[in-house]
Structure 1
Amino acid sequence: MPADRFSTATRLKALGEQAAARVYRARRPRRNRLTGRAALLALVMCSLVVALAYPIRQYVSQRSDIADQRRKAQEAGRTLDRLRDEKARWQDPAYVEQQARLHLHFVRPGETGYLVQDGTGAGTGAGRKGAGAAERPWYKNLWDGVDSADKR
């Protein structure tokens, strides 16, 4: 008899053993994947996160405050530069004279000062009785105040 005849039976027997092994492996209780070491590592990591959360939040907050203070210092430096420039301009007599002429209507001795109205009918009219204090030149308001104080 040839050996092939029994080879089918042998093969069936091997397949049966393999199937039985698979069933046995499937029924075998699985080990818990979380070991003691893994649990300890997870506990340590959680403790570190909790312990470092507040200091990290403080660090980020302080960095933000530092950035705000640096921005304010730069802004103050720019303001200081602008004010120094303005102070230097006010040290120049020509600039002071220009500002006095422009805002205070000053004139040099021998010059005649004029107030030009724009033609709308609501001019500054220094002599008008109904003119408000904001519409009149400053010196007219000053003398009116002196006159009213003198009458009291």
Structure 2
Amino acid sequence: MAKRPQLTGRAAVLAVVVCAIAMSLAYPIREYVAQRRYIAQLEQQKARELAEIKEQEDRYRQHLDPGYIKRQGRERLFYCDPGHKCFVVMRDRPTQSKGAAPEKKAAKPPWYQTLWESVEAADTGTGAKVAGTGG
């Protein structure tokens, strides 16, 4: 009795047809997934934009309120209603202690003096460090 081959002609044709179907569906499925992801991103962006629009509308309504305008004038611009006395309290400046002397930084020479000293150092070939430079 003869042994049947493992892969028959029908099986080979079936395998080719299955591969052709899989290859023909791969691109549309990939595009579908990409478009769904893009739609989700657009929906998130739409939600953010709607929230911003709502916030702007709330601010607009706030600016229509005369009480809000007066309150902002008093708080930010230090306006005062007619007939009222208003005071602005300034913050105290920090005082220095009498025992400690303020630290003075070393005076940096002007740029042209530094430039001239570097030219002189280059002329003499000493390569001496010029005062006022960090190097």
TM-score category (smaller protein):
0.5 to 0.7
Distance 2:8 2:93 in 1: 94
How far the C-alpha of 1:37 sits from its partner, in A, is 1.0
Note the 1:120-139 alignment, pairs <5 A.
120-121=93-94
Distance 1:116 1:32 in 2: 101
TM-score using structure 2 length:
0.62
**1:34 is aligned to 2:7:** yes
Name the SS of the counterpart of 1:51 in structure 2.
helix
Which structure has more relative contact order (CA 8 Å, sep 6+)? It is 2
Unaligned runs of 5+ in 2: 96-135
Distance 2:19 2:93 in 1: 79
How far the C-alpha of 1:110 sits from its partner, in A, is 3.1
The count of aligned residue pairs is 95
Match of 1:43 in 2: 16
Identity %: 35
Match of 1:62 in 2: 35
Unaligned runs of 5+ in 1: 1-27, 123-152
Larger-Rg structure:
1
Distance 1:41 1:71 in 2: 45
1:73-104 per-position Cα deviation (integer Å, ceiling 9, x unaligned)? 11111111111111111111000111111111
Q: Give the CA RMSD over aligned residues.
A: 1.9
